[in-house]
Structure 1
Amino acid sequence: MSSSIRTLAPRAALVAATGAAAVVLAACGGDGADRAAGGAGNGDAGGHAPAGTPSPQGAHNPQDVAFAQGMIPHHRQALEMARLAADRASSGTVKDLAGRIEKAQDPEIRTMTGWLKSWGEKVPGGAGGGGMDHSASGRSGMPGMPGMMGGEDMAALEKLSGKAFDVRFLTLMVEHHEGAVEMAETEQSKGRYAPAKAMAGDIVTAQNAEIGEMNKLLGKSESKSAG
């Protein structure tokens, strides 16, 4: 009996030690995964990924931050322009387009806001939660923001209605979309965060299609005006 007791004791100790080691390894592994998935607030969470391995979905870099911080106000201005169409546009097609723009871009703003908060980065402010500051005159007040309208453009658009509004809205929105596509293509080539790159791809596809649609509408408007 005493021999059996002596034999069981080391086995029990070995099992306990193995279990403790497993717990420690699991805890360490969890910390590493959390760092890779959640990212750090320094703008480059991918620093923890081993060289030569695919970036985890949660890794992001400064370009991803710049994309979200730039595209949020860009989208907000598009929403403001789209909402003007409800009361001012004469064309049902223009109103429908404006509604589609709002439906697509409002959720993207919320998604990008969530990314920035999770990364510990600043979320761009907006007048009334969705409007733009019109203090800038022309386009020069928005450096580094392709396609953004300045205060003069927006103020002029707000004063129009009917067919004049339709033409001006489409003209400005084409330019605005072209700027968004440019920003999205930069994210596609230089970004790291998989969901941001995927959103950028969606923006390029959807807004290029809308640019083509709006240019066709402008062609019809111009031909009618000339006639």
Structure 2
Amino acid sequence: MRTFTRRTAKKFALAGAVTAAGLLLAACGTDDGMSGMGHEGTSASSSASAPVSPSGSASGSASASGSASAEAAAPGAFNGADVMFAQMMIPHHEQALEMAKLADGRAEDPEVKKLVAAIEGAQDPEIRKMQAWLKGWGKPESAGAGHGSGGGSGHGMAGMMSEKDMKDLAAVKGAAFDRKFAELMIAHHDGAVAMAKDEQKNGRNASAKKLADDVVRTQSTEIAELRKILDRL
């Protein structure tokens, strides 16, 4: 009876060792498979060195910065209309910011001041976004001759203020500034909306077309508000 018990115990111990070894090998095989997997656009070594979450997906600043770079470069196909939209809208936005800066110490109407803040808050980030797109596309920020405020070519930017317009705006204060600002900014916004509608129609890049949608919606609303301001001034 003692011999049988000892033999049985040995069999159970041996079986347990074999099972444990099998589980260990299976676990090692799973780890090797995971370490060999890499994310698209990321080397295997960087994936292996990145922290791994309990779900097995790589995490950390490397993957976060990769996502940010992809967004900045406006991923996806693009065409000449997308490039032209960014190249022309950047100086158009920059002039709107110059007009908004003139409101400091000159604007009197609270609604005008509110719109100035909205313009500054929206258009400065949009400029940086379009600059990043052009860099990612390998295109120059400037569209070259024929795209200035003079509008000498068919691609001239509608709504751009002349040097005289800017000087006249800087020369007035109070209610006179509010009226002049509203009149000029309506014309300026009209030009931006026209450019954005052209991008909606002819552009290809999803990010650029999304920005065009935002410009049409936001600046059309601001045009309506500026007209209401003019009606009561």
Question: So what's the TM-score if we normalise by structure 2?
Answer: 0.64
1:169 counterpart residue number: 181
**Which blocks of at least 5 consecutive residues in structure 1 are unaligned?**
1-25, 28-37, 39-55, 126-135, 222-227
Matched AA of 2:119: I
Number of aligned positions between the proteins: 161
Separation in structure 2 between the aligned mates of residue 213 and residue 170 of structure 1, nearest angstrom: 9
Post-superposition shift, 1:141?
5.5
Q: Residue 100 of structure 1 aligns to which amino acid in structure 2?
A: A
Confirm or deny that 1:216 pairs with 2:206.
no
> Take 1:201 and 1:142, find their aligned partners in 2: how far apart are those partners?
27
1:112 is aligned, of 130, 148, 154, to 130
Assess, with a 3 A threshold, how the Cα gap between structure 1 residues 141 and 201 changes in structure 2: closer, same or farther.
Answer: closer
User: Within 1, Cα distance between the matches of 2:127 and 2:150?
Assistant: 24
Aligned-residue offset at 1:140: 3.4
Which residue of the partner structure matches residue 207 of structure 1?
Answer: 219
Unaligned runs of 5+ in 2: 1-39, 42-69
* Bigger Rg, which one: 2
* Matching of residues 6-155 of structure 1 within 5 Å: 57-124=75-142, 140=150, 143=153, 144-155=156-167
* 1:93 positional shift: 1.3
Runs ≥4 residues deviating over 2 A: 139-143
Partner amino acid, structure 2, of 1:165: F
1:98 Cα deviation after fit: 0.4
8 Å contact kept, 1:88–1:161: yes
Aligned partners of 1:124, 1:94: CA distance in 2, in Å? 31
1:124 CA drift (Å): 3.1
SS in 2 for 1:86: coil
Asked whether the equivalents of residues 151 and 157 of structure 2 are also in contact (C-alpha less than 8 Å), the reply is no
Are 1:146 and 1:180, in contact at CA under 8 Å, matched by a contact in 2? yes
What does residue 197 of structure 2 align with? 185
Q: Give the 3-state SS of the residue equivalent to 2:123 in structure 1.
A: helix
